[in-house]
Structure formats: structure tokens, C-alpha cells
Amino acid sequence: MIDPMIKSAWVALGGDRALLGRLVCVERPGALIARFPVQRLARACVGTCALAAAELGALRAGLDSVPRAVVDDGAVVTAFHSERLLRIDGRAPVNFAPLSRWWRAAYGWVRTHANYPHHRERLLGALGLPDGAGPEDVERLLLERSALEVEEAVYAAGGLAVALRTPGQWTAHPQGVEVARRPLVEHTPIGAASTRQLPPLDRDSGPLLPAAGVRVLDLTRVIAGPVATRTLALLGADVLRVDAPELPELPDQHADTGFGKRSATLELTADSEALEELLASADVVVTGYRPGALDRFGLAAEALAERYPGLIVAQLSAWGAYGPWGERRGFDSLVQVATGIAATEGSTMEPGALPAQALDHGSGYLLAAGVLRALSERSRDGQGRLVRLALARTAHWLTAEAGRDPRPGGPAYEGPFAWLTERDSPLGHLRYARPPVSFTGGPTDWATPPVPWGSSPATWS
């Protein structure tokens, strides 16, 4: 029997329900232990992505039936911890900066995010602290303010801080109301139809790569968006990640999510002609900045669809492109705080968290699945698509729509080691999580390791 979470995700992606019979699940209970059904969410997101990949592969290769997609909890759980399990020349990664943590306020709790230097600067500025201030200075000051006061002050300064809310408080919040009204995946046709088509795939030239020849312009950061484009790279896409030269990605996060991609820098204002050249030949544009942040560069979905018929635009945000928080920045850890997850997973003594950054990883695989399904649909009607997800909407799916967690079957999860592998790279010797997206005849690893940030030309290969 197909898990209702898998079914709901596949239906949200516009998939044919009859294909759900092509998905096989290997359950390994006891890995992502939480009050919410996190392991089911992870399995559903990866499983639907694998099924979407198999569907597109069958379509392009002219197969009589869709290959069997397999989702193994062992691979899924390991992949959902990829940023923690990565090793570079034996060194463990740095995932959170000293000022990215929980703080007890005069009233309530607040969580901050200051991994990037500019976010740290804005946080300290909002609190009236000098650049050299440390955790003890912030701790002392926050004990004099309420959590909601800190949230608003830091947001006004362009920083990131969110006050702890219960599930009931989030449900009543105007942003929570807006999030609950939206579909899990917004998946709509945009622009005029085009004649662009992907060439057929050669069945005998190696692994079946459903996204071979697909050009993906990757304008994302941190985890969720890069996980989506890393997955498209696994499936054969030519993924070019582009960042502003003054905003380098954190090195360990870049290493974890850079497999299969090239990495370039581009000043979008000064290099608008180069950007347009990339867009003119792109099949997919994936953005992960806060809603509206890239519109001034001509990267709004409607503007892109008008200039480039048939283009698939995939957008990911923290809170959604709507409601009073529609233009706010956010990350997985902060969405857990606002939506009641941290309160539910915590205790009377302190807030808690999910056992993995499941909103990030889950939304990333769903976004990749949405792109793959859009490519399948475009092959039939020539129509571009807008695929849009929000971490807060994924959180609502987990907390309010997943239902009871059925008793799982299968062997117990015995740790990540069977799903880790190693290889040399320009960044050093890497130990990393194997890709969890799997189907018969498909790839088992990325073709290339991550390259140094900004080391590639801003051109298609």
C-alpha cells in the first residue's frame, strides 16, 4: 500500500496516480525519530523525485514502461544528513556559526541565524552591538528584551531572528493562515508554448540520464535549492551555479551541494548581457532567494516566461511569495521555530528541533521532482511551467496534513556507513552521502565532484 504522504506529494506534482505502482519503498524504521513523521516526509520527497526521474527517462528513451523507482530509507536518511556527514580531508564541516543559535529572551525564546558575515553584521547592528561582540554580549542583551521585539528589530535591519511560537500561535498568525491556503507545490503553466524539445536518449550509451542535455541556471544558496539542482546534475543536467562575486557561499555547504555542477560568479547588474545569453539557452532557471529579490534583474517568473517561451522557472522561498512575511528571509531552522515544530519537539525546559534539516532537504527533492515533471509535461505541450515551493508550506504538510504515522516495517536503520562513499576532488579528499534518488538503469553517483567556488566560466558547457 502506498503511503498517503507519497500519494499526496505525487498528486501535488501533477503526476499520474497509475505510476505510483512503479515505486518500491524499503523501510528502515528508527532513524529520524521525532514527534512528527519526519522519516515518512523524507521518503515521500525522495520517492516522488525518483518516480519523476524514471517517468522523464522513459519518455525521452521511448521505453514501453516506466522503470521501477526505488526509495531506500537508508540512503534517504543518510542524504538528509549530508551536510553533517561530509568530510573534507577528514575534517568535519562547520554548519552553524556561534551567533546562529537559541537565546532565552526576557519573555520567550528567539533563534537567530548569522552564518553569513552580512547577516551577522545586521544582527549585531539591530541589537546595537559592535562588530566584535560575542555570544555572551548577545545573551546579556536579549535577556532584557522580549522575543517578539527582537524578531521585529532584527528583521527591520535585514537580519534573521524568529521568536518561538506554538503550533496554535502559528495557525492563527496571518502568515500561517496564508501558507495553509496554498498547495504543497504550486505547479502552473506560464508564457506561450514553444517548439523547444529535448532530443531522444540513447538507451545503450550508459546509465539512463533523464535530464541529459537540460541546461539549468542555478541561482540558489544554502541547502534546499542547491539540493534540488544537485539532484538535477545527478540526472545528467548541465547545471551552472551563479553567485554574486561579493557573496561567496560557505565553503562546506558549497562542497556538500556542489556535486555535478560548475560554479561561476556574475555581477547581475554589470553583466546583464552575459546573464541574458545564459537565459536564452537555458531550459530551467532555479531561484532560492527571498521573493522579489531578483525581480530587478528581469528574473521574475512572468518576465522570464514572456522573453523565453517554454522556460521552466522553479522558485523556492522560506515563507512563501505571499502574505505579510512574503518578502522575509528565512532558513529551515527559523521556519521550524515559527511554525511550532521547535515547540513541539522541545521540552518544558527548552525548544527542540527535527533530527535533520528535513524542510530544506525535503523541499529540495520536491523542487527537483517538480522540474522533472515540468520537463515531461513540456515535451507534450511545449509549455513552460512555474514550480514554486516554500519551506513553511512543507512544514504545514508535515505538521497538519501527514496524519498518523503507521507502524513501519522492514529492517532497522543501522547507521549511514553503507550509504557513504569517497572520492578525490579539487577541494580535497571527500567522504559524502551517496545520492538517494534511484531507479532501474539510472545513475548511482554524480559524474563530477564539486569544484572550487567561482572557478568556472559563466557560459554553458
Are 335 and 319 a contacting pair, CB within 8 Å? yes
* Cβ count near 91 (within 10 Å): 10
Sign of CA dihedral 231, 71, 344, 350: negative
Residues known to be catalytic = 360
The set of cell numbers assigned to 168 is 496554535
Q: How far is Cα 325 from Cα 338, in angstroms, rounded to an integer?
A: 11
Phi, psi values for residue 157, rounded to 5°: -90, 5
Q: How far is Cα 44 from Cα 315, in angstroms, rounded to an integer?
A: 20
Q: How far is Cα 217 from Cα 283, in angstroms, rounded to an integer?
A: 8
Question: Parallel, antiparallel, or unpaired for β 312-317 and 284-287?
Answer: parallel
User: CA separation (Å) from 354 to 41, 68, 180, 357?
Assistant: 12, 31, 20, 7
Torsion of CA 253, 110, 166, 405, to 10 degrees: 30
The set of cell numbers assigned to 115 is 552564518
E strand map for 2-132: 23-26, 69-72, 87-88, 102-104, 109-112
Report which of 301, 317, 334, 296 is spatially closest to residue 220, judged by C-alpha positions: 317
Query: In a 10 Å sphere around its CB, with 0-12 CB exposed, 13-18 middle and 19+ buried, how is residue 140 labelled?
Result: exposed
Are 161 and 112 a contacting pair, CB within 8 Å? yes
Query: In a 10 Å sphere around its CB, with 0-12 CB exposed, 13-18 middle and 19+ buried, how is residue 388 labelled?
Result: buried
Residue holding cell 573534507? 88
Report which of 268, 364, 279, 281 is spatially closest to residue 315, judged by C-alpha positions: 364
Q: How far is Cα 418 from Cα 94, in angstroms, rounded to an integer?
A: 23
Which strand (E) or helix (H) includes residue 149? Answer: helix 147-156
